[in-house]
Structure 1
Amino acid sequence: MKVNDMTLEEKIGQMLMVGFPSPIYDDHIEELTSEYKIGNVILFSRNLKDKVQLQSLCNNIQMNMIKHTGIPALIAIDQEGGMVTRIYKDATYLPGNMAIAATNNPENAYKIGEIAGKELRALGININFAPVLDVNNNPSNPVIGVRSYGENPEKVAEFGINYIKGVQKENVIATAKHFPGHGDTSVDSHFDLPLVSHNKERLYRIELYPFKKAIENGVEAIMTAHILFLALEKNKLPATLSHNILTNILRKELRFNGVIITDCLEMNAIAKYFGTAKAAAMAIKAGADIVLVSHTKKLQIEAFSEIKEAVLRGEISIERIDESVERIIQLKEKYKLFENPYPDENKIKTIVGCKEHQEIAKNISLNSITIVKNENNLLPIKKQKILAVSPETVPISGVDDTLMDKVSFAKAFVQKFGGVEKTIPVNPDEDLINTIREESKDKEIVVVGAYNASLNEGQVRLVNSLLEVNKNIIVVALRNPYDLLKFKDVPTYVCAYEYTPLSVESVLEVLSGNYVAKGELPVSL
């Protein structure tokens, strides 16, 4: 495919990646592809029912994109594992980054990457928006947390590189995110614009380090962060829109020659302050190759028009456009999309969700469970008179999936060990806290599943209130390990790093004594 032979519209179409609302190739995506020549797609849970439907969807996307543009599509997904898993039926449910890091074996990151790569490619998905290479060193980070491999930049780099190698070996493009680092923020960029005020020396030593290493090890794509880095950008522009960060630092200094993709431009950090369409042109001017507009058709069309206008006005040079399109086409060629972009029906039947993959995932999940302390020797559980309390899974950050099946740790616990179960809201009120406190007085053990209690004060009050009347308390952190910082007097504390059916099953195995916990904390408490 020669870039010189393409029209301006076709070129801009290659530089956009869009989402659409339904599980079929609908009018929304057809209009964007046929009228605007848009050449890349992102899928969410709303687009997925099961593997047969997904195969048909990816087939239709490719057939229509090739028909309208002559070029196969990048079909992307956020299949990070753990709490950010878009395909959770039929495919193998994989542990997330902090759980993998807790096994303290980087080889596990490679294995998980390999499984993700095999299954995604079989289904027709050719780019994964993973791994997260943010160094999570801020306990009150509301959006990264357990999506990170931990607080140590060397460890984040080592695990991340292994994951990248596993995915890319299977012909799926890995995407390191969120450059230059979303780990030390206390604001979720889905909702507002975070600010990182560290000096340059510290940013290079910690935040940028894993990205630098990933580039040296051949990562193909990098996703930008919608964050203000005052030391790297004087003009109060977030990294996604900063020429200094994307072109001077990422391209020239770190020598990244792959594809730069923006995080979604409909996120509030961008939409609220710059406007999605306007930001699309600004991001390309800054050096991005592909701009991501995940949801709204009107904004997707406006982004296309805004970029086109900026080129026609001479604000963005045609050379700048060509350079990006060249990179995108080369990546599609390198990953053999021109040869065969379609799902593989045979592999979907034999590989996706196969027993072997599930065994590996289960094993890694078991090895991640961490007993931080067991002061009253309450583990393994031998007692009968037990109260188990936990919230159900609910989305607690902008990236969490609203469509995932609900899990209740307390229910699963009582099914295995007996006792009384209470499923509570993420932020229980005083009345409920007092009721549970009363109920706990005569129990031999109280087991509490905490779900980001460090960011949900009701859970903190509950645990501290229970400690006043019963000293035999086991807290299982079902997401952020940092919850312990809010109730240091808890005698028994276990970390599961994620709240999924897989991790709940693993933690119950450890609590029963059937499996000896081997996990180590990837963050310091």
Structure 2
Amino acid sequence: MKTPRPTCFLTAFILLLATYFASAAPPDSFLFHEQDTTVAEQARNLFDSMSTEERLAQLFLVGWDGVSPSQAVLEWINTRGIGGVKVFGWNTNNAIELARSLGTMQTRALAQRAGIPLFTATDQEGGWVRHVRDRTSHTPGNMALGAGGSPHDSYESAVRISRELRLLGMNMNFAPTVDVYRNTEASVIGSRAFSDDPVQTAVLGMAFAAGSQAEWVIPTAKHYPGHGNAVGDSHLLLPRLEETLAQLHELDLLPFRMMIHEGVPAVLSAHLAFPNITDAYTPASLSRFFMRDILRDELGFTGLAITDDLYMRGAIDYAQGQGWSFEEMVVEAIAAGNDMVMLSRTPDAQGPIWQTLLRRYRDDADFRRTTDESVLRVLETKIRFLGHENRVPLVPDLSLIRDSLPIDEHQHFFAEQAALGVTVLRNSRLPLREDALGRVLVAGNVASFLSAATRRIPAAERFVFPYTPTHVSRASDRAWIRNNAARFDTIVFGLSNRNSAEILAELEPFADRVIVLSSLSPLYLAEMEWVQDAVAVFGLTDVSHAAGLSAIFGDFTPQGRIPLSALRRPLLEALE
């Protein structure tokens, strides 16, 4: 075999080093060591050194297509700068490539004249909202934490979620969800909420935020001013809530008030209309009343206010009704009092957005003043979290990711948390004896439930129906289970959404054969007093379903308490 010449090896080595140093941020980039100046003073000094475009660029948090950074997002960073990037599920098929992409974008941002790093944000709430799936932990989610009832567990869950984000180079998490869940039809929230009790929601949310900050990941309280009573999904339409301001203060705003008092650094504003409060159908995210009068003046919030994605129909439909262009809606969101606007896609029309924003900034003194305040809040948050020596690394260590993720201890911890959250809702014959099941049917529409149940009961027959549409079941599915239920001695049914609840209702004549494992919100059972045996796990993960089935078969005694106090009595009347 021909031996490579030393000069070729040396050339390759030099090229490798050049590639490494070209892609790595200097270790002291954007570190603030001054002890004799405040964060506000440091932010002001940085602000004064920036051009108008560099300042306004800090207001944007944008997404991109694919895993590698798109040319569009790189162009934003290279030509004008940007405040941050938002990681969605479509960016996360490969965690190592995602981390590489974040490092590339951070390096580009630091190479600009202002040299300001990016917020790198995602939604890693726990439970079924987990945008970064590769190499990260399956977690039971917020409502399971509510059932367990321990603020310490909420804190420790956030520490572990944030530790994984930290390794991947993500410094901001759009969590915790502190919506007060009190409407069965608020299915887009469901088990993402901790509870229907605003105080319990606040306490667990504060603990989660503290755990996030322990790893220097910025937590974000959402969805201000409260999505837990909304019928409909603001991704698809603009929900209209009938609360009065007094009701909002008593329930939905209480967690935000308590978290603001404890210094939560960021809040995410929601596309929700409150016509009884504003006499209009303006989304809270675009409302000066909600974003300035309530959030800033009344609740005293001094941190970052960030819009939910402005590509959601809840925002776009309203803007179109007002005759606004997309770029006008972006500017109106800033004018309302948001410090940053989230755009899930990198807009092709960069020019019109910038022209509209610059024109408003130059021509409107009030807009210029409030926008400058927003830029200063962005800079203060970056100095506080990204300018500290303990910050999330701006350029992730890819070898550390390969060696460390997934983390075994995290998997064990979250499996224990799943078991702690399991809650018996109704009980007439639990635990089941595996030798007394007879002929078994496992029915459901969630893959992790079906696989866990099949592992536990290998001889069971399966009936699988589609998860979507979530609100309407198929007549053929209802007919199948109605016509075939009599063939089985035991039916283990996975309840997950309105669709599955409609199919479950067909089993009322066979109530003494039915065991329900509720995956997400158990509120549907309040409409089904005939159900005699039911266990809730509040999540869609393998660990949650495995824990629920273990409880059904008596492997352990569940200790969870349903975190839905308004419905506790109708759900537990069989026990009382």
Task: Give TM-score, length-normalised by structure 1.
Answer: 0.92
Opposite residue 319 of structure 1, the aligned amino acid is R
Match of 1:204 among 224, 249, 262: 249
Compared CA separation, residues 296 and 271, structure 1 to 2 (3 A): farther
Opposite residue 375 of structure 2, the aligned amino acid is V
The 1-side partners of 2:545 and 2:350 are apart by: 39
Contact kept? 2:86, 2:121, Cα under 8 Å: yes
Contact kept? 2:243, 2:277, Cα under 8 Å: no
Q: Which moved more, 1:119-128 or 1:296-305?
A: 296-305
Q: Which residue of 2 aligns with 1:412?
A: 452
Match of 2:67 among 7, 18, 23: 23
The 2-side partners of 1:468 and 1:36 are apart by: 66
- 1:131 matched to 2:176? The reply is yes
Opposite residue 507 of structure 1, the aligned amino acid is G
Q: CA deviation at 1:443?
A: 1.6
Match of 1:388 among 407, 430, 442: 442
SS at 2:220 equivalent? strand
Q: Which residue of 2 aligns with 1:403?
A: none
Contact kept? 1:197, 1:231, Cα under 8 Å: yes
Q: Which residue of 2 aligns with 1:246?
A: 291
The 1-side partners of 2:473 and 2:249 are apart by: 41
SS at 2:507 equivalent? helix
Contact kept? 2:94, 2:134, Cα under 8 Å: yes
Compared CA separation, residues 476 and 243, structure 1 to 2 (3 A): same
SS at 2:289 equivalent? helix
SS at 1:447 equivalent? strand
Q: CA deviation at 1:467?
A: 2.6
Contact kept? 1:128, 1:174, Cα under 8 Å: yes
Opposite residue 52 of structure 1, the aligned amino acid is I
Q: Which residue of 2 aligns with 1:214?
A: 259
SS at 1:372 equivalent? strand
Compared CA separation, residues 341 and 408, structure 1 to 2 (3 A): closer
The 2-side partners of 1:128 and 1:122 are apart by: 13
Q: Which residue of 2 aligns with 1:314?
A: 364
Q: Which moved more, 1:307-316 or 1:12-21?
A: 307-316
Contact kept? 1:175, 1:219, Cα under 8 Å: yes
Question: Any gaps of 5 or more consecutive residues in structure 1?
Answer: 393-406
Match of 1:283 among 333, 336, 356: 333
The 1-side partners of 2:49 and 2:529 are apart by: 65
Contact kept? 2:516, 2:535, Cα under 8 Å: yes
- 1:52 matched to 2:105? The reply is no
Opposite residue 93 of structure 2, the aligned amino acid is K
How many residues align? The count is 507
Match of 2:382 among 324, 332, 339: 332
- 1:512 matched to 2:553? The reply is yes
Q: Which residue of 2 aligns with 1:356?
A: 409
SS at 1:23 equivalent? coil
Q: Which moved more, 1:467-476 or 1:189-198?
A: 467-476
The 1-side partners of 2:95 and 2:502 are apart by: 43
- 1:491 matched to 2:532? The reply is yes
Match of 2:84 among 40, 47, 54: 40
Q: Which moved more, 1:196-205 or 1:467-476?
A: 467-476
The 2-side partners of 1:466 and 1:300 are apart by: 55
Contact kept? 1:440, 1:470, Cα under 8 Å: no
- 1:7 matched to 2:51? The reply is yes
| CA offsets 1:43-101 (integer angstroms, 9 cap, x no match) | 01111123321221111110112123521000000011111001122112222111111
Opposite residue 386 of structure 1, the aligned amino acid is V
| CA offsets 1:4-62 (integer angstroms, 9 cap, x no match) | 22122111110010000010122121122123322310001111123321221111110
- 1:451 matched to 2:500? The reply is no
Match of 1:474 among 515, 518, 521: 515
Q: CA deviation at 1:522?
A: 0.8
Q: CA deviation at 1:203?
A: 1.0
Q: Which residue of 1 aligns with 2:209?
A: 164
Q: Which moved more, 1:55-64 or 1:346-355?
A: 346-355
| CA offsets 1:143-165 (integer angstroms, 9 cap, x no match) | 11111111000000000000000
Q: CA deviation at 1:315?
A: 6.3
The 1-side partners of 2:333 and 2:254 are apart by: 23
The 1-side partners of 2:474 and 2:298 are apart by: 52
Task: Give TM-score, length-normalised by structure 2.
Answer: 0.84
Contact kept? 2:62, 2:86, Cα under 8 Å: yes
Question: Any gaps of 5 or more consecutive residues in structure 2?
Answer: 1-44, 321-325, 572-576
